[in-house]
Homo-oligomer: A and B are copies of this chain.
Amino acid sequence: MGATQSHLFTDEQNELARIARVLAHPARIAILQYLIQANACINGDLVQEIGLAQATISQHLRELKSIGIIQGTIDGVKVSYCIDPLRLSEIKKQLNQLFDSFSSSSLGNCC
């Protein structure tokens, strides 16, 4: 039981849910906000910035990387993380598409 029945849904629906799932943790929101506001590459200050263990942060970074919203480049012994601007705006667009198909013109006929 218990497993999501992905085959019941369209690729688009599964992909949107996948993106939302990656955003669905405050640590990952915090990482994104930090990288977005820094607007630059950040070495692993992230472990300091957020109060979670190094292994946990690394796991969260991997999930963010999995949807391409951040990139990590090796820089000597450290790794630099930053936002992928193109992917960011793609994701923004995809989420907005969901909401924008609603026309609140028929506000009155309902409930």
Q: Known contacts being A16-B23, A52-B8, is A32 close to B98, with CB within 8 Å? A: yes
Q: Known contacts being A52-B8, A73-B111, A96-B92, is A14 close to B26, with CB within 8 Å? A: yes
A20/B13 in contact, CB under 8 A: no
Q: Tell yes or no: A47 within 8 A of B by CB.
A: no
With an 8 Å Cβ cutoff, the count of chain A residues facing the other chain is 55
Copies of this chain assembled into the complex: 2
B98/A29 in contact, CB under 8 A: yes
Q: Tell yes or no: A4 within 8 A of B by CB.
A: yes
B50/A8 in contact, CB under 8 A: yes
Q: Can you report 30 residue pairs joining A to B where beta carbons are below 8 Å apart?
A: A4-B25, A6-B26, A8-B50, A9-B29, A13-B26, A13-B29, A16-B26, A16-B29, A17-B23, A17-B24, A17-B25, A20-B20, A20-B21, A20-B24, A21-B24, A32-B98, A36-B99, A36-B101, A36-B102, A37-B102, A39-B102, A39-B103, A39-B105, A39-B106, A40-B109, A40-B110, A71-B111, A80-B111, A89-B104, A95-B95
